[in-house]
Structures are given as structure tokens and as C-alpha cells.
Amino acid sequence: QKMLSGSNLIPEPSYVPCEDLLIGRFSFGGMNPELERLLLKEQAGKINEDLVKEQEMIKDVSDDKMALHYTKVQQTISNKYAKQEKKFHNTRDGRIDKRNFQKNPKFKGKYT
């Protein structure tokens, strides 16, 4: 029946609800009680919407579990680069010391 009724678009005469704007008139200090009631209702509705959004965004993973995960990842990455550091011995000025260069044992030939 939706197909027969037309489109799914809803015409809105104003762009105020689309942009989440406040109404154009304000009242403070009891000068216009009707407007103040409208503003309070609008603010209460927004507060309720914010509470619902916050409840939906509850943490799935605790901070402790996340910290433990990141320490494991950091340890894995440091192990990866530790293998490369063992291969090369740098001197104080940053050059590689060829005498301490460790060759890969699977490439040993008859001349090494």
C-alpha cells in the first residue's frame, strides 16, 4: 500500500525542526509565561533524547580490558622490532659495526 500511496517524503513547511533550531521568541524572568513553558518543554524533550543516546552508548569493553589489549599489542610490536635490532649493532655515531654484524645461519656457505 505504501507504493500506491505515493512517496516516503514528508513535506515540512519550515526548516526549523530540520536544523534543531530554537523558536524565534524568548522570554526571561516571567515576562511571557506561555513562551517560558514552551521553552521548558522543548528543553526537557532534548534532555530526554540526550539521556537515551547516552544509555545507548554504554561501554562494551571495560577500561581494564582495553588497557590489557593495548599492552599485548604493544608487546607484539616490540617483539617484531627486537628481532631486527639483534641483527645490527650500531656504534655510538650511528654507523653499523660490520664486525659485529650477525649473518643469518641459513645462508652459511663454505666461505663463511
Distances (CA, A) of 29 to 34, 35, 36, 37: 12, 11, 9, 12
3-state secondary structure of 90: strand
pLDDT, tens digit (0-9, with 9 covering 90-100), for 43-102:
888 888 888 888 777 777 888 898 999 999 999 988 888 766 666 555 556 665 555 556
pLDDT, tens digit, for every residue of 1-46?
A: 455 566 777 788 887 777 777 777 788 888 888 888 888 888 888 8
Residues 6+ apart with CB under 8 A from 28: 36
